[in-house]
Amino acid sequence: MATQQLIKGVIRFLHDFFTVVWIGGLAFMVLTMFSSIKKVLGKDPQAQGLMKAITRRHSIWVYISIIGLFVTGLLMGRSHPEYLGFMRFDNLYTTLTSVKHILTLVMIVVALFRSLSFGKKDVELSPKQNKFSMMLIIINFIFGLAVLFLSGLLAAI
Single-letter code of the amino acid located at 107: M
Q: How far is CA 12 from the centre of its chain?
A: 16
N-term to C-term CA, the chain = 24
Q: Nearest-CA neighbor of 97 among 51, 147, 27, 25?
A: 147
Q: Tell me how far apart the alpha carbons of residues 116 and 32 are, in angstroms, rounded to a whole number.
A: 24
Give me the pLDDT at residue 41, please.
Answer: 85
Write out the chain's pLDDT in tens, 157 residues.
799 999 999 999 999 999 999 999 999 999 999 899 888 888 788 888 888 889 889 999 999 999 999 999 988 877 777 777 788 899 998 999 999 999 999 999 999 999 988 877 777 878 898 889 999 999 999 999 999 999 999 989 8
- Burial of 115-134, coded b for 16+ CB within 10 Å and e otherwise, reads beebbeeeeebeeeebeebb
Helix (H) or strand (E) holding 119: none
* Number of Cβ atoms within 10 Å of the Cβ of 65: 23
Q: pTM, whole model, 2 decimals?
A: 0.88
